[in-house]
């Protein structure tokens, strides 16, 4: 199922994403690459939540910076409970 999310990101990238000038993203990696990484690392549902949260954080008042989907802590507490 995660392939569906990744495919949707590529559709976005090569359609509406072309309207955004390159180098304008405040974050590294870009939001679309973050979404692809989130889908690969966390699956479709959790990846969609992480990608949506990232897009909401990308606004004129954010500072940006380096942010990787693999280091996301949104689901960390639940994962710790499962392994304990």
Q: How far apart are CA 2 and CA 83, in angstroms?
A: 23
**Across the strands, what pairs with 65?**
27
pLDDT tens per residue, range 45-83: 999 999 999 999 888 888 889 999 888 887 776 555 555
Q: Is the pLDDT of residue 23 over 60?
A: yes
Higher-confidence residue of 58 and 9: namely: 9
Q: How far apart are CA 51 and CA 38, in angstroms?
A: 7
Q: What is the pTM of this model?
A: 0.82
DSSP 22: T
């Amino acid at each position: 199922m995660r392939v569906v999310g990744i495919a949707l990101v590529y559709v976005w990238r090569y359609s509406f994403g072309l309207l955004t000038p390159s180098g304008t993203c405040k974050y590294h990696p870009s939001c679309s690459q973050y979404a692809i990484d989130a889908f690969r690392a966390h699956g479709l549902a959790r990846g969609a939540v992480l990608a949506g949260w990232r897009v909401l954080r990308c606004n004129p008042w954010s500072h940006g910076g380096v942010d990787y989907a693999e280091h996301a802590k949104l689901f960390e507490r639940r994962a710790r409970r499962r392994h304990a």
